[in-house]
Structure 1
C-alpha cells in the first residue's frame, strides 16, 4: 500500500516532534516559582472606623456572626492596637514597621514634607505583598487603599504607590479614604472603572464577589500555590450607606442613648471575658453632650444614624462571611492565617456633635438644620444621603476607654478588637490572648508562620528592620511572654508611649469631632502628660502622673528616644505643619487648565481649585446632536456637571450639599461645531459665598441663576474630576439607563477652565 505524504502532513509531523521534545514542567522546576513547604495562605481583613466595643464579639451592640465564629475557631486579642488613624495603620499593617518609619505618619489631608509624614511608603520598607510575591505567593488587594499620594492618583500615575506597585498582582477597589457605597469611585489595577450595573448594587458586596472569583480561579489553576489577600472595606467609615433592611433590623435598639449603651457594652464585655472583672468606665468628655440633654428631635435623628451604622457594620460582616465560606468550600480554610482586624482605629467622631445626613458639608460648616435632618429620616443611609453619626455614639463604641479615632494618646483611639484564626496551628480554639500587640506585629508573624526570613534586600533596595515582633508564640500558647515591650503612638500631636506595662499619654487639645478646624491647637510644650499602669488599669482610667512623677519622666525620656530613632523629633502636629511644609500639588500656581478626552479619575485636590472665587469653563465640541457628560466634579450629594441631555441641550447642574442647587438648561439643540461654557461670578467677601452662574453657547448667555452658598474647600474626598464621563455617583440628571453618561455622537475637542 502506498502512502502519499502531503506537505501539510510533513509540517504537522515536524511540529509534533518539536512539541514532544519539550520537558514537562513540574511545580518545583524553575519556571514555576516555589514556596516554602506547607506555607499558609494569608488573609488580612481590615474594617474601618470600628471601635473596640462595637462588635458582638467584643461585647458590642452590633451582630457580627462571622467575627464571632472566627473567634470560636481561633483567638480573640483584647490588647491589640492600631495607630489611631487610617493611612498610618494601613502602612504599618502592610510593612511591619512603625507608620512614621514607613513615612506615612499622617493621613493625606494633613501630610506634609516633614520626614515621616510625607504619605509615601519608602522603598526600604517593602510590603508583605511584595515579600510574599517574591516567595511564590499569589497576591491581591480588594477595597480601600488610601496609601497613594493624591498627586499620583491620576491616569498617568506614577503607579509606584498604587497596590500594583507595592506587590499586589491584582487590585479592585478605591484609592481614597472613603467612597460612596452605592456609586463608588472604582479602579481595576490602574484604570478607573464603572461599577457593575444594577439597582441593588453595594460596593462591599461587589468587593466580596471579586475576591471570591479570585480565590476560585487560583484554586482552579494552581491549588497548591499559597495566596495573600488584603480585603479592606469602606465600612464602617462614613458615608453610612447600606440597604434599608439592614437598618430596619436595628430599629429602636438605640433609643436609650449613648450613655446607657456604653454601660451595657461594658457589662457584656466583662461577661465575655474580653475585659477584666472590675474594670471601670472612663467618664464622658465634658465637651460631649449627655444623651438626656438632647431634644426629642435630636434623639430621633441620632438614634436613626446609629441604626444605620449598626446595619452597615452587620452587612459588612456578612460579606466577610462569604469569603470565609469560600475558603471552607475550597478546603483552604484550615491552612489559612486569617487576621480579622475590626477597625483601623477607634470609632469616628468626625460626624460632629450633632451627626449629619451629609457630613462632608457639615465638616466645612455647611450643616443641615435639625428640621432638615428630621425630614430626611427615612432617607438616611440611602444613595441620596452621605451620613455620619454623632460623636456621642463614637465615644460609646470605644467602651470602656477614653476618646476615639485620631486620639493616639489614649486607648479609645488605638485599641481595636481583633481575631486571628489558623486551625492548623491554633489548638485552643476560642481562647483569649492578652499580650500587648500592635498592628506592626502582623507582618513578622506571617513571615515566621511561612518560614520566611525577614528580607535584607527587596527589589535591590536594602531594607529597614521591622519594628514589629512576631506573635506566633502567642498563637500557640496563651502563657507566651509578651513579645513587645515598647511602642510609640502619635497622630496630629496626640501622642503616647507604651513601655513595659506603663503608658504615658499627652492629648494635644484638638477635639476629634472638630476635624475640619485646624486653628486653636496649643503648643506642644503646653500639653499635659498623664501616666497609667496598664497592667493594673485596663481601661486607662487612673492617672498616676502626680503619684509617680519619676516614672512619668522615665517614660517621657523613652518617648523622646523612640521619636529620635524614627526621625520625628521634635514632634510637630502634622495638621499644624501641613501649611508650612505643603505636599506637592498638580495645580500649584496655575490659573488655566486645559483637558482632553481621557482625563478621568483625577482627585479633586489635583483638579482646578474653583472654590471661593470666580471661574469659567469653555468646551469645544463637534458632532451632530451629541449627548453625554462634558466635564464634572464631585457627585450626587455635592458637585457639578456640564453635559448635553438626551435632547442634545446643554445642561449645567450644581449642588452644594443641603445648602442649595442650580439647574440651567439651554433652549437650542447642540449640533455641529459648538462652544459650550459656564461662567461663575463669585460674590466675594469671604469664603463659601454665593454667586451667579451663566450657561453660554457660542458666546451667548442663554440662562442664568444664583446660588446663595458654595463649598469653602471641597465637594468630596472620594469623587473625582472627569472629562467625557462621570465616574462615581452622578453629579447631573442623567438618563437612568446610561451609567456614567459617556459623551456620544460627537467629539470633545478640549475643555478649558480658568480661575480668577
Structure 2
C-alpha cells in the first residue's frame, strides 16, 4: 500500500533534541510508515509528558480488502468423475447438485491421480513435485521431488490469506505432513497449524475409520466420543459449523478460508446403517451396466459432449455376467457401502453450506467443491477388500471369509474397499483409475464453483482445461491478494497455477492453461493444447500375476486428441507418430524442470529417512504413554523383540493394556485379561493369533515379559511368541506370519491404554485402561 504522508511533528525541547543525533532524527523522520499502523507511526515523538509527545495511537491489525469474500474449499477423497449425480453418476449428491445449479460445473478439471500430491498442489498453487510431494506422504522417497517435505519457499494459500486479514481453518484429512514429523517431537511446521491454518480438526494420515478415528485438534491428539452412533463425517461438519459460528460471532466482517476435506470416499466406507439401507439392491446389475448408464446420463446432462465414445474396457477386467452369484452379492454390497458413504458425506457438507445461508454469508462466499482428490480407486483389484490392511500386511483375503462376514461391510467391523471393477465404472467415461497419472480416469474430477453475484451464468458448464494447482491463484484473485515474492522472510518459488477467474464470465474463452505434465507411480502424460501423450499402464489392477516391469525407455506411449475425443477412447499413436514424438520430447523437457525426475516407483525407499530412533535398539517408557505414531514407535517390522514390563496389580489380578501398537484392523497388544497375561498379534481380524496364561496374577508387583523370536529376521517371517511372568514361561504360541510393511498405518503405539480401537476384542477402549500401576516398560530389539 502507498505510504501515508508524515503528519507535522512538534519540535522537541533542546534538552530532548540534544539527546538525539541528527542522523537518528533524520532516520526517524524519513523512515517509511509500517503498513496497517497509524499515520503518525513513522514520526512519533515521546517527550517527558504527553504535552511534549505525539498523540497516542494503536498498531492496527491487517485487514482484508473491503468486500473480500469468504472462501470454502471442499474436497472429497477417491471419487471418480462419473460417481456423483452432478456429473451423471449413480450416487445422489444434492448439495453438489444445488451448488452446480447456482454456480458453474467444470468438466476439464484435473488432479494428480493420488491423495497427497493433489492436496499439496491445491494448497501451494504449484505442481506437486515442485513442492516435494510427488507421491503420498506415507510412501515418500529420498528424491527432492518426492520427499514429502513442503519447503518454506512454497507458502500456502492459508499462510498468504492469514497475512492478509483472513481467519483460516482446516477440517478433515491432512495427508501432507512428513511421517517422521507426526510425533510429539515435531517439528510442527508442516502440521496444518504450521501451514497457515489457525485451527485444525481432523486426522493427519491417509485415511481413518469413520467410527474410531485417530483425531488431532491443532497439535494435540483427542479422542472421539464413545458413542455407538458417532460418525466422523458428522463430527467434521459439527466442528466446521462451530468454527464458522465462533469466527462470525467474534468478527462478522472478517473473511475466512475454510478448507474442508472429507475422509469419504477413501476406504473404509462405513456409512450410518440407515444410509446403507437406502442403497440396498441398487447395484445388483453390476459395473458394466452402471458405467453404460452413467455415460448415457452424462450425455443427457451435457457434462460430456454428445459424440463422446466410452473409453475401451480393460481386457483384464472381469465382466459382471461372468461372476458367480456369491461374487455378485458380495461385490454389490461393497458398492452399496461406497455409495451410501459419499451420499452421507454430501449431506454433511450440505449442513455446512446451510449454516452459511442461515447466517447470511453465502452470498459473499466463494465455494469450490472438488469431488475427489483423484479418480475412484481400483486398488480393491478383483474381489475388493474386507480389510484395506490386508495389502499392507501382505496377506490374501479369502473371498469365502468375506462372504461369511458380508454384513460387516459398512460397519466399524470392516475396513472395506470396493472391487476394482466399481472403480473403473465410477471413472466413466475415462480409462483407468486412481494412481494412473497417465489417463483421465486417474486425474479428471468433477468440480463446481459457486459465488453469488459474481457468477452470472448459474447452472453453466465450463470446459477450459485446468489443474488443481490453479485453485490457489483463483482464490487469491478473488480475495484481491497478490502472491508475495517473500513470505515470512523466505523468497518464494514461482506459482505455476493459473487463475480460473476468467472463466466466470467468459464461457467460451480459450483455456489459459495450455500445458500440463503428469507423473504418478511411473504412469506419465503430458497435455498440450488439447493433445495428450500418455504411457500405457505396465500393469492393471486385475492381473493375478503382475507382468515384469518395463524399462522407462521401452514403455509404450499412446496419443489422444481430446478436442474431438473427450474420453481418450481413440489412440492415434500409429496414425500420427510425429505428433507423439513431439509430445514425448515436451514431457521430458517439462519433467526436467518440474522436479519429476527420476522416474521411479519405490526405489528411493525409506532408507536414510529422518528418524529419531535411527540405530536405537532399546526403548523405555514410564507409566501411561501415548499415542506415538509408527514413525517414532519401536520399529518391530522384520525384527525379533522382547517386551519387559514391571507392574503392580490389584487383588483381582488387574485388567487392561500394558503395551500396544495398532488397533482393530492390525497391531499387537500385551495386556491382562481378567488378570491373565495375554498377547495378541493381529495382521487383520481374519489373521489373528493370541496366547494367554491360564491363571490370573496374584496381587502385588510382577515382571511380565514377552519374547517374540522370528524364524528369520525379515518381514512376513513366521515367529514364536512366549509369555513370561516373573521369569517363568506361562504360555507359548506360533505366529504364522509377521507384519510386512507397517504395524498400523492408522493407529499408534501406547502404554497403559488402547485409546482408539482395540487390537483384541477381549477388551474395549474403556476396559483397555490398565487398572494397576505400570512402573516401567522396556522394549528391546536384537
Same fold (TM over 0.5): yes
Find the residue that maps to 1:660 and give its secondary structure. Answer: strand
Give the drift of 1:634: 1.3
Work out whether 1:298 is the aligned partner of 2:324: no
Task: State how far apart, in whole Å, the 1-side matches of 2:56 and 2:318 are.
Answer: 72
Q: Is the 8 A contact 1:106 1:574 kept in 2?
A: no
- Which of 616, 619, 626 aligns to 1:590? It is 616
Deviations 1:649-694 (A, max 9, x none): 4333322211233152462336443322222233449752433322
Q: Is the 8 A contact 2:363 2:451 kept in 1?
A: yes
Give the drift of 1:750: 2.8
Task: State how far apart, in whole Å, the 2-side matches of 1:185 and 1:197 are.
Answer: 13
Q: Report which stretch shifted further, 318-327 or 287-296.
A: 287-296
Find the residue that maps to 2:338 and give its secondary structure. Answer: helix
Task: State how far apart, in whole Å, the 2-side matches of 1:429 and 1:660 are.
Answer: 55
Equivalences for residues 80-99 of structure 1 within 5 A: 80-99=109-128
Note closer, same or farther for the CA distance 1:284–1:456 as it changes in structure 2 (3 Å cut).
Answer: same
Equivalences for residues 462-541 of structure 1 within 5 A: 462-512=491-541, 520-541=548-569
- Which of 669, 673, 677 aligns to 1:650? It is 677
Q: Is the 8 A contact 2:429 2:567 kept in 1?
A: yes
Task: State how far apart, in whole Å, the 1-side matches of 2:542 and 2:215 are.
Answer: 28
Task: State how far apart, in whole Å, the 1-side matches of 2:443 and 2:698 are.
Answer: 56
Q: Is the 8 A contact 1:33 1:135 kept in 2?
A: yes
Which protein is bigger by CA-based radius of gyration? 2
Deviations 1:99-129 (A, max 9, x none): 0111111113431111111101110110111
Task: State how far apart, in whole Å, the 1-side matches of 2:227 and 2:273 are.
Answer: 16
Q: Is the 8 A contact 1:408 1:491 kept in 2?
A: yes
Note closer, same or farther for the CA distance 1:130–1:163 as it changes in structure 2 (3 Å cut).
Answer: same
Find the residue that maps to 2:380 and give its secondary structure. Answer: coil
Task: State how far apart, in whole Å, the 1-side matches of 2:747 and 2:323 are.
Answer: 34
Give the drift of 1:384: 1.1
**Which blocks of at least 5 consecutive residues in structure 1 are unaligned?**
1-22
Q: Which runs of 4+ in 1 moved over 6 A?
A: none
Work out whether 1:711 is the aligned partner of 2:746: no
Deviations 1:416-453 (A, max 9, x none): 01111111311111110100011000100011111101
Task: State how far apart, in whole Å, the 1-side matches of 2:753 and 2:666 are.
Answer: 17
Other-structure match for 2:669: 641
Deviations 1:478-503 (A, max 9, x none): 12331101111111111111111111
Task: State how far apart, in whole Å, the 1-side matches of 2:708 and 2:657 are.
Answer: 19
Computed over aligned residues only, the root mean square deviation of the Cα atoms, in angstroms, reads 2.3
Give the drift of 1:477: 2.5
Task: State how far apart, in whole Å, the 2-side matches of 1:53 and 1:525 are.
Answer: 33
Give the drift of 1:244: 2.0
Other-structure match for 1:752: 778
Work out whether 1:616 is the aligned partner of 2:645: no
Q: Is the 8 A contact 1:505 1:531 kept in 2?
A: yes
Other-structure match for 1:145: 174
Work out whether 1:229 is the aligned partner of 2:229: no
With the length of structure 1 as denominator, give the TM-score of the two structures: 0.92
Other-structure match for 1:573: 600
Note closer, same or farther for the CA distance 1:46–1:588 as it changes in structure 2 (3 Å cut).
Answer: same
Q: Report which stretch shifted further, 549-558 or 296-305.
A: 549-558
Give the drift of 1:193: 1.3
Work out whether 1:741 is the aligned partner of 2:772: no
With the length of structure 2 as denominator, give the TM-score of the two structures: 0.89
Task: State how far apart, in whole Å, the 1-side matches of 2:624 and 2:670 are.
Answer: 16
- Which of 251, 258, 267 aligns to 2:296? It is 267
Other-structure match for 1:690: 718
Task: State how far apart, in whole Å, the 2-side matches of 1:518 and 1:727 are.
Answer: 39
Give the drift of 1:97: 0.4
Deviations 1:511-544 (A, max 9, x none): 35689x9993221111111111111110011111
Give the drift of 1:716: 3.0
Other-structure match for 2:571: 543
Other-structure match for 1:17: none
Task: State how far apart, in whole Å, the 2-side matches of 1:453 and 1:630 are.
Answer: 54
Work out whether 1:106 is the aligned partner of 2:135: yes
Other-structure match for 1:41: 70
Other-structure match for 2:469: 440
Give the drift of 1:582: 5.2
- Which of 455, 458, 471 aligns to 2:487? It is 458
Task: State how far apart, in whole Å, the 1-side matches of 2:614 and 2:575 are.
Answer: 52
Task: State how far apart, in whole Å, the 1-side matches of 2:543 and 2:451 are.
Answer: 41
**Which blocks of at least 5 consecutive residues in structure 2 are unaligned?**
1-54
Give the drift of 1:24: 12
Other-structure match for 1:353: 382
Task: State how far apart, in whole Å, the 2-side matches of 1:689 and 1:464 are.
Answer: 46
Aligned length: 726
